[in-house]
Amino acid sequence: MREYSPLNRVNVEPEHLPVMLEETLLCLAPQPGETMLDGTLGLGGHGVELLKRLSPGGVLIGIDRDPEALEQASKRLSGVGGEYRLLHGTFDRMGELLKERGISPDAALDGMLLDLGVSSMQLDRAERGFSFQNDGPLDMRMDPGAEESAASWLARVPVEELSGAIRRYGEEPQAGRIARAIDRRRKERPIETTGELAALIEDLVPRRGKKIHPATRTFQAIRIIVNRELDCLEETLGKLDRYMKPGGRVVVLSYHSLEDRLVKTVFRDRAAEGFFLPHPDGLQRPGEAEVRLNPRSRSARLRAVVRAGG
Ligand SMILES: C[S@@+](CC[C@H](N)C(=O)[O-])C[C@H]1O[C@@H](n2cnc3c(N)ncnc32)[C@H](O)[C@@H]1O
């Protein structure tokens, strides 16, 4: 097995390391002069390494829905030199975002990366409301300027819809019980913090020595709903071929089975229609050494395809 040696490991906490960096670079194969889009720029962990390889003459376009992430990434990218543009918004709007900047999106890209989910920065900051370990307001919006927080959604969603969402997006076998308990509690008082919600679920579904916190699946489900995560992904994957140049490489890193299943199905179907070819390194998981160093990489799956016609 290849030893794990992240290229920009220096001065970075393990949880901020870009996941499967070497594998991602291998699949995207950035070259000087090329244009690549990182649709989930985050703190710019992958972006910095892409930008270094696209220069001279190339451009990195970075999208993120979280303005704070863009600010942090901008600081790191500006230290690299090279040309980059940062766009605020969701990646399903990439065509419009590019047009707004005067860039025609059609067959514009040699490479695209989607490193899905939340960033370690979002998870670790209690005030962003993603974590059941650090008590904070029940928010969970990746873009804090977006419409509805988790607390507000939870206060109004009908109990059957809540139960269905927890079952579908959290794959939680206890979805019905959890939804009914949330319903009883919100009739007494609004659920406003991550700690309150986590404690409510833990009382209902005890840990029984299991490693994962009993609230993990419910938090995942609510986060997916609040941020329309699967809708954004499905919509984007369906129109990717339009934005890629012939021979352009697409890499998606996903972190749970719902995302991965969607990526696998769309890649397969679009390949059958002749839009994409399988990438020779197109399905990978992190090596043991990376998982040891950065446990958050454990669930990652990398899938890659190449735009046909190159
Ligand atoms: C896992 S992190 C990316 C980390 C990044 N690759 C790095 O190495 O620093 C995911 C980022 O994507 C953003 N994000 C998630 N879904 C998005 C979407 N639909 N559109 C735009 N940004 C999104 C999140 O705000 C977060 O900053």
User: Does residue 131's CB lie within 6 angstroms of at least one atom of ligand 1?
Assistant: no
**Is 68 among the domain residues?**
yes
Q: What share of the chain has pLDDT > 70, as a percent? A: 94
What is the CA(101)–ligand 1 centre distance, in A?
A: 20
Give the chain's length.
310
Which of 276, 267, 282 lies closest to 234, judged by CA?
267
In a domain, 69, yes or no: yes
- pLDDT band at 268; cut points 50, 70, 90: very high
Q: Is 114 in the pocket of ligand 1 (CB under 6 A)?
A: no
> Do 159 and 104 lie in a common domain?
no
Residue 6 lies in a domain: no
What is the average per-residue pLDDT within 263-278? 96
Of 177, 198, 226, the residue at which a domain comes to its end is 226
Q: Ligand 1, atom 18: nearest CA belongs to which residue?
A: 90
Give the pLDDT score at 133: 87
Q: Ligand 1: which atom is nearest the Cα of residue 113?
A: 6
pLDDT, residue 10, reads 42
Distance 60 CA to ligand 1 centre (A): 15
SS3 111: strand
pLDDT classification of 147: cutoffs 50, 70, 90: confident
Long-range contact set of residues 130-134: C-beta below 8 Å, sequence gap at least 24: 130/194, 130/219, 130/223, 131/194, 132/194, 132/195, 132/197, 132/198, 132/213, 132/215, 132/216, 132/219, 133/213, 134/194
Residue 27 backbone phi and psi in degrees, to 5: -75, -40
User: What's the domain count of the chain?
Assistant: 2
In a domain, 238, yes or no: yes
Same domain, 106 and 201: no
The region of weakest confidence among 7-16, 95-104, 184-193, 217-226 is 7-16
Local confidence band at 153 (pLDDT 50, 70, 90 cut-offs): very high
170 located within any domain: yes
Q: Whose CA is nearest to atom 22 of ligand 1?
A: 64
22/92 same-domain check: yes
Residues 245 and 216 in one domain: no
Nearest CA to ligand 1 atom 2: 119
Q: Lowest mean pLDDT: which of 155-164, 203-212, 219-228?
A: 203-212
Greatest mean pLDDT among 33-47, 193-207, 208-222 lies in 33-47
| Listed range (148-157, 200-209, 215-224, 301-310) with the worst mean pLDDT | 200-209
d(C-alpha 202, C-alpha 215), whole Å: 7
* Domain residue limits at 288: 14-121+229-307
Q: The tokens of 230 are what?
A: 């699967």
Ligand 1 lined by 58 (C-beta under 6 Å)? no
In a domain, 1, yes or no: no
What's the pLDDT band for 207 if we cut at 50, 70, 90?
A: confident
Are 242 and 276 contained in the same domain?
yes
Q: Determine if ligand 1 sits within 6 Å of the CB of residue 128.
A: no
Closest atom of ligand 1 relative to the 69 alpha carbon: 27
Kindly tell me if the per-residue pLDDT of 172 is higher than 70: yes
The last residue of one of the domains, among 209, 226, 243, is 226
Residue 221 · residue 168 · CB < 8 Å: yes
* CA 176 to ligand 1 center in whole angstroms: 31
Residue 1's pLDDT is what?
Answer: 37
93 and 108 part of one domain: yes
The answer to whether the CB of 63 falls within 8 A of the CB of 97 is yes
Domain endpoint, select from 226, 253, 281: 226
Residues 105 and 19 in one domain: yes
> Candidates 12, 21, 24, 41: which one to mutate for ligand 1, based on the most atoms within 8 Å of Cβ?
41
User: For the residues 96-108, what does the mean pLDDT come to?
Assistant: 96
In Å, how far from its chain's centre is CA 257?
13
Taking the CA of residue 253 as reference, the ligand 1 atom at the shortest distance is 1
Contact 288/2 with Cβ under 8 angstroms?
no
Q: Is residue 130 part of a domain?
A: no
Nearest one of 106, 124, 144, 104 to 14, comparing CA atoms: 124
Average pLDDT, the chain: 93
**Does the C-beta of 236 come closer than 6 Å to ligand 1?**
no
Is residue 29 domain-shared with residue 103, that is, in the same domain? yes
Model's pTM, two decimal places?
A: 0.94
Tell me, yes or no, whether 60 lies in a domain.
Answer: yes
CA pair distance 138, 150, nearest whole angstrom = 6
d(CA 38, CA 222): 25
The average pLDDT across 51-62 equals 98
Q: What is the pLDDT of residue 210?
A: 63
Write out the two tokens for 235: 């919509």
Distance 41 CA to ligand 1 centre (A): 5
Please give the pLDDT value at position 13.
62
Residues 253 and 274 in one domain: yes
Spacing, Cα 74 to ligand 1 middle (Å): 14
CA distances from 180 to 23, 65, 150, 183, 206 (A): 44, 32, 17, 5, 16
Ligand 1 centroid distance, CA of 44 (Å): 9
Instruction: Round to whole Å and give the CA distance between 75 and 77.
Output: 6
pLDDT, residue 211, reads 74
Which residue type is seen at 67?
A: P
| Ligand 1 proximity of 254 Cβ (cutoff 6 Å) | no
Q: Are residues 35 and 109 in the same domain?
A: yes
Q: In terms of pLDDT, which residue wins out, 23 or 1?
A: 23
Q: Is 18 in the pocket of ligand 1 (CB under 6 A)?
A: yes
Q: Is the C-beta atom of 251 inside 6 A of ligand 1?
A: no
CATH of the domain at 98: 3.40.50.150
CATH of the domain at 184: 1.10.150.170
Do 116 and 151 share a domain, yes or no? no
Same domain, 106 and 22: yes
| CA-closest residue to ligand 1 atom 7 | 45
